[in-house]
Amino acid sequence: MPSISAIASSSPSTSARDGAATLGRGRCHANPVDAISQPERWAPLGFPAPPPDRPWIFGVVVVSANGVVAWRRRDARDDPVREILGDETRLDRRADRRLMRYLRTIGDVGIGAQTVREQPTLILSPQEPGDERAPELYAFRVARGLSHHPRNIIYSLYGRVPPQHPMLTTPGLSTIILTTPAGRAELARRGIRDAAVIVEPLLESGGLARAHTRLRAEHGVRYIACEGGQTLFGALRAARLLDEVFLTTTDVVVDRAAHEGVLTTFDFAAEGATLVAEGRLEPAGVYTFKRWRFGGTRR
């Protein structure tokens, strides 16, 4: 199985003018999470330069062994992500969490409003509340001319964003909300005025594309680590805006009959995606990692 450190081997990395999204030039790591504990030897986790008119968008997702991403929650305790990831004490799970935090150093981070509502303490940053300290990841961002925190980009069709959510109240963290005309009215009704807002008809692929053109032109967003959910991934893919996906697959098998509204990930081969790299998050672990890159994205 090829090393995860070969992730960028088939594509040119960005230049310094495009955000320097190549993570170092030193020794390669078979395990990319080693880069966090050994920053002087970051693996060359490279990204192509973004298109000239929009950000480069990469999905970050974890799926069960049988391809399940999520389902309709019965209540607050019915958390698909926690079930799919398995026991919090497992080294594989810890490694996946560190990799997600690592990918938040590349640029900014996007997520759907449904996930925001379901996770009332979430902030999209290399160090979430309760995490181990990660000063090296913040230093890495700042050294490349990025803000301390990634900008948190919320996709919300109807503006149903909780006004007291920490994405909107954390000092030093900037939020951009992509919404529709109806969503803008709901944001105003809720008293959300400090976040930047981009209004476009997001249900139309052309409107979704224009929203990302404006993210680049008005806010200088070059890279987005999109953490979903799958409905958002599907919309981005349909609009030919999703460039690649970092996919972690666990060993948990979900009983699909026990849940309603089950969502599965893409059939990447059927989508014509290219497998750029694969490996394991822990050398002796069972979680697998794949990086899939789509062709024919909007340039």
> What pTM was estimated for this model as a whole?
0.85
49-68 residue pLDDT tens: 999 999 999 999 999 999 99
pLDDT higher at 123 or 134:
123
What would the pLDDT profile of 207-240 be if each residue is shown by its tens digit?
999 999 999 999 999 999 999 889 999 999 999 9
> For residues 101 and 131, is the Cβ–Cβ distance under 8 A?
yes
- Rounded distance, CA 265 to CA 286, Å? 19
Q: One-letter amino acid identity for 68?
A: V
Between strands 175-179 and 152-156, the pairing is parallel
What confidence score (pLDDT) does residue 134 get? Answer: 87
**pLDDT at res. 41:** 38
**How, if at all, do strands 223-226 and 175-179 pair?**
unpaired
Long-range contacts of the stretch 185-192 (C-beta < 8 A, 24+): 185/159, 186/158, 186/159, 186/160, 187/156, 187/159, 187/161, 189/159, 190/159, 190/161, 190/163, 191/163, 192/159, 192/161, 192/163, 192/168
The predicted structure's pLDDT at residue 45 = 67
**Residues 6 or more apart from 147 whose CB is under 8 A from it?**
141, 174
